[in-house]
Amino acid sequence: KYKITLSCLQISMKCETTASFSTSPSSGTQKQSLSCHHGWTPYGSRCFLYVPARLTWTSAEVNRCPDSCTNLASVHSYSEHLAIQRMIANVAHANFPAWLGGSDCQREGTWLWSDGTSFNYRYDGVFNNVGGNQHCLHMNFGSANIWNDLQCSHTLPFVCAKKRRTYG
Ligand SMILES: [Ca+2]
């Protein structure tokens, strides 16, 4: 079984099924509709939620992404990045900085997503590890709204994600 543990931040994967999501919507013979709970934004095979409360990266991941199979969001394409950025702008009326689920706390420069998926996409960013302790990933940094590594103890709003549930 696949399981990720970011022991450096005292977290382990909450829900093993999150590691197997597909980046494309389900198709073909499946008749069920895939839905998101009220307030969540559907995109691809997942539902996303922007939470404006400011928390540390670990507190957001462990305590506040609302249910047991929810993680801070991983991002796997430019279109997903844009969809999340649009969602934040709709709520915050600005490109407000927000935590994503990436961390390189285990080994500097080796980024992992807290949901256990592959770190196979990276938007433009400032991965400069200032002071040697910037190991958590956020988006909407600076005037260019790029990604940035930041001290995990900073507090920022955050984006949660989970697989869409199948109803009916
Ligand atoms: Ca940085």
Distance from residue 32's CA to the centre of ligand 1 (Å) = 43
- pLDDT tens for each residue of 16-40: 554 444 445 544 444 456 789 889 9
145 C-alpha to ligand 1 centroid (Å): 13
Summarize pLDDT for 143-153 with one digit per residue, the tens. Answer: 999 999 999 99
Residue 74, both tokens: 């991983």
The confidence score (pLDDT) of residue 1 equals 38
CB neighbour list of residue 48: distance below 8 Å, 6 or more residues apart: 40, 41, 42, 73, 83, 84, 87, 159, 160, 161
Ligand 1 centroid to Cα of residue 33, in Å, is: 40
Establish how many alpha carbons lie within 13 A of residue 147's alpha carbon, considering only the half-sphere containing its beta carbon: 24
For 72-108, b/e burial (b = at least 16 CB within 10 A) is: bbbbbeeebbebbbebbeebeeebbbbbbbbbbbeee
The answer to whether 106 and 6 have CB atoms below 8 angstroms apart is yes
Note the pLDDT of residue 69.
77
Judged against a pLDDT cut of 90, whether residue 63 lies above it is answered with no
> How much distance in Å is there from the Cα of 135 to the middle of ligand 1?
9
Per-residue model confidence as pLDDT tens digits over 92-135: 999 999 999 999 999 999 999 999 899 999 999 999 999 999 99
